[in-house]
């Protein structure tokens, strides 16, 4: 879908995927992958986008190194934390995902949030705000990170003012002219804590306002007033976003009954155990992710880190961990506390990834009998050869409906539709393909295929006069149907 956005955009078809009707802004305010457009013009491939995603996630090790070195004063500790980040199995699922839909624009929020947190630690607020804007472009609900981040900035400024027994003086004109909100009391400069407090409060208000504007005005406008598609993830609370929010606020018994479960505990363990729980040593920073974590625990689709929903929690956890490592000695007050904490983090990430990761850092990747192994998923097989024969039969100007895992091979055609049981608007909410479909391509060997032979294809059972089955030269790997031209009467 996301690669199709870029292809359609620079071919004059708009910011859309033909998986459904309308511009994509009716699904999410999610535009960060447009940054890849210049590269996509040079190499129009889904592989390019996956490479960029993997690279972006890996770049998160840089701000983690910087924050840890600042927190601990140790290059060695910074390297160990960076290694822990790269071994962190919830990060690997952002790059692979349990259903193997391996490109998600949400992943790009991770490095932007991490670089923004690094800028905040340096009191470089302008840089942080720019980076936060890029992170927010990955998805509208990431404002649920930005709003509590604003609260943290404001609370930190207030607490420091109170702790040092000082008020919150106004900013001097010289500070304004410099455009620098960093403080250096030792040098006698003006205390900028009032500016920090105001900035934090403004950021908190912006986060709430942006979320309401996106979900109640912008997205519904692009989908002709229809309710947001992800409301169904919270069906126990209602059928509209308003009902869901109201019931969460006004029915605490229902809310806490769904929230305080073993599933929530497992979710928290899966995020914190791989960093040895060291993130808890910086509770204020970790709390920035708490509202979103609570919402994700109520998500009926996937309340675990095997999908993509937890993407903005990863940078929050490592921000807290990078500072928490430096706090270990102050909290536990024994000589080896700092050293133990930094070693424990990378060892926890390594050990948990060994059993839970789908990447080369995990046992599953190398197990020839595992369904997610190198040999099952990545080794060249006959299915890869046979798809080339299918593509030769389909003119580039065709409108093609296809099943899930072969879909990425067909996004550069005139239109690329979905072939599934899912009822889509573009097909009139019927269990059928759009009326202008020229070809249907069914991959019989993908992991969730329910169709193994032509006898199971619904069009050959209900619309035999409209479709013809093309001769099979793929040894049963693919089924290809072509629409029969109907003569005008």
- Per the DSSP assignment, residues forming a β-bridge with 415 are 399
Tell me, what's the pLDDT at 172?
44
Token digits of residue 226: 């229809």
How far is residue 439 CA from its own chain's centroid?
A: 32
The label of the residue with tokens 């793929």 reads 474
- Per the DSSP assignment, residues forming a β-bridge with 124 are none
Query: Which residues lie below 8 Å from residue 487, measured CB to CB, with a gap of 6+?
Result: none
From CA 221, how far away is CA 32, in angstroms rounded?
20
DSSP letters, 300-351, are SS--STTSSTTTTHHHHHHHHHHHHHHHHHHHH-STTHHHHHHHHHHHHHHH
Helix, strand, or coil (residue 417) = strand
Token digits of residue 441: 């391509």
Tell me, what's the pLDDT at 223?
84
Would you call 194 exposed, middle or buried from its count of C-beta atoms within 10 A (0-12, 13-18, 19+)? middle
CB 412 within 8 A of CB 397: no
CB 278 within 8 A of CB 271: no
DSSP letters, 172-194, are PHHHHHHT-----GGGTPPP-HH
Laid out side by side, the sheet with 478-483 consists of 415-418, 399-402, 439-443, 478-483, 467-469
> To 10 degrees, the CA torsion angle through 293, 299, 302, 308?
-50
Instruction: Give the number of other CB atoms < 10 A from CB of residue 398.
Output: 17
How far is residue 320 CA from its own chain's centroid?
A: 20
Residuewise pLDDT in 10s, the chain (489 residues): 899 999 999 999 999 988 876 788 888 999 999 999 999 999 999 999 999 999 999 999 999 999 999 999 999 999 999 999 999 999 999 998 887 878 999 999 999 999 999 999 999 999 999 999 999 999 999 999 999 999 999 999 988 877 666 555 544 444 444 444 444 444 444 567 788 999 999 999 999 999 999 999 999 998 888 888 888 889 889 888 888 888 888 999 999 999 999 999 999 999 999 999 999 999 999 999 999 999 999 998 878 898 899 999 999 999 999 999 999 988 887 778 888 998 999 999 999 999 999 999 999 999 999 988 998 888 888 888 899 999 999 999 999 999 988 988 999 999 999 998 888 888 888 888 998 999 999 999 887 888 999 999 999 988 888 999 999 999 999 999 999 975 444
The three-point CA angle 243-244-246 to 5° equals: 65
Span 372-414, pLDDT tens digits: 899 888 888 888 889 999 999 999 999 999 998 898 899 999 9
Token digits of residue 157: 């400024």
CB 343 within 8 A of CB 80: yes
pTM, to two decimals: 0.90
From CA 234, how far away is CA 239, in angstroms rounded?
8
Query: Which residues lie below 8 Å from residue 290, measured CB to CB, with a gap of 6+?
Result: 148
> Which pairs count as long-range contacts for 325-330, CB under 8 Å and 24+ apart, including other chains?
325/68, 325/71, 325/72, 325/77, 325/81, 325/278, 325/281, 326/68, 326/71, 326/72, 327/71, 327/281, 327/282, 328/278, 328/281
């Amino acid at each position: 879908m996301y690669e199709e956005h870029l292809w359609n955009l620079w071919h004059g078809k708009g910011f859309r995927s033909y998986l459904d009707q309308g511009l994509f802004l009716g699904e999410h305010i999610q535009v960060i992958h447009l940054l890849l457009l210049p590269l996509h013009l040079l190499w129009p491939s889904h592989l390019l986008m996956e490479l960029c995603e993997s690279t972006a996630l890996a770049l998160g090790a840089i701000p983690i190194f910087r924050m840890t070195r600042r927190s601990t004063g140790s290059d060695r500790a910074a390297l160990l934390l960076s290694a822990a980040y790269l071994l962190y199995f919830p990060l690997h699922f952002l790059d692979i995902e349990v259903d193997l839909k391996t490109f998600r624009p949400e992943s790009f929020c991770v490095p932007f949030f991490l670089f923004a947190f690094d800028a905040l630690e340096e009191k470089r607020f302008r840089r942080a705000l720019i980076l936060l804007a890029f992170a927010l472009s990955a998805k509208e609900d990431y404002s649920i990170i930005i709003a509590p981040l604003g609260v943290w900035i404001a609370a930190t400024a207030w607490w420091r003012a109170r702790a040092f027994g000082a008020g919150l003086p106004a900013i001097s004109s010289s500070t304004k002219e410099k455009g620098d909100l960093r403080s250096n009391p030792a040098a006698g400069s003006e205390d900028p804590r009032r500016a920090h407090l105001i900035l934090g409060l403004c950021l908190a208000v912006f986060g709430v306002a942006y979320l309401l504007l996106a979900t109640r005005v912008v997205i519904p406008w692009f989908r002709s007033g229809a309710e947001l598609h992800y409301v169904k993830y919270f069906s126990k609370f209602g059928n509209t976003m308003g009902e869901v929010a109201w019931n969460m606020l006004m029915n605490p018994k229902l809310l806490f009954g769904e929230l305080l479960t073993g599933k929530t505990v497992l979710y928290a363990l899966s995020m914190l155990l791989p960093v040895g729980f060291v993130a808890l040593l910086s509770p204020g920073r970790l709390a920035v992710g708490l509202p979103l974590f609570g919402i994700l625990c109520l998500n009926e689709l996937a309340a675990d880190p095997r999908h993509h929903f937890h993407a903005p929690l990863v940078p929050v956890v490592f921000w807290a961990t990078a500072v928490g490592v430096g706090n270990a000695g102050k909290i536990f007050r024994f000589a080896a506390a700092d050293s133990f904490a930094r070693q424990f983090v990378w060892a926890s990430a390594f050990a948990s990834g060994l059993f839970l990761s789908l990447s080369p850092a995990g046992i599953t990747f190398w197990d020839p009998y595992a369904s997610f192994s190198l040999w099952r998923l990545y080794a060249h097989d006959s299915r890869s050869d046979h798809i080339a024969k299918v593509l030769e039969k389909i003119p580039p100007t065709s409108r093609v409906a296809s099943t899930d895992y072969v879909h990425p091979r067909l996004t550069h055609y005139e239109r690329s539709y979905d072939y599934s049981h899912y009822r889509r608007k573009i097909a009139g909410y019927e269990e059928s393909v759009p009326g202008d479909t020229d070809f249907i391509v069914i991959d019989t060997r993908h992991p969730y295929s329910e169709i193994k032979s032509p006898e199971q294809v619904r069009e050959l059972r209900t619309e035999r006069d409209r479709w013809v089955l093309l001769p099979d030269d793929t040894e049963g790997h693919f089924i290809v149907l072509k629409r029969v031209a109907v003569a005008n009467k």
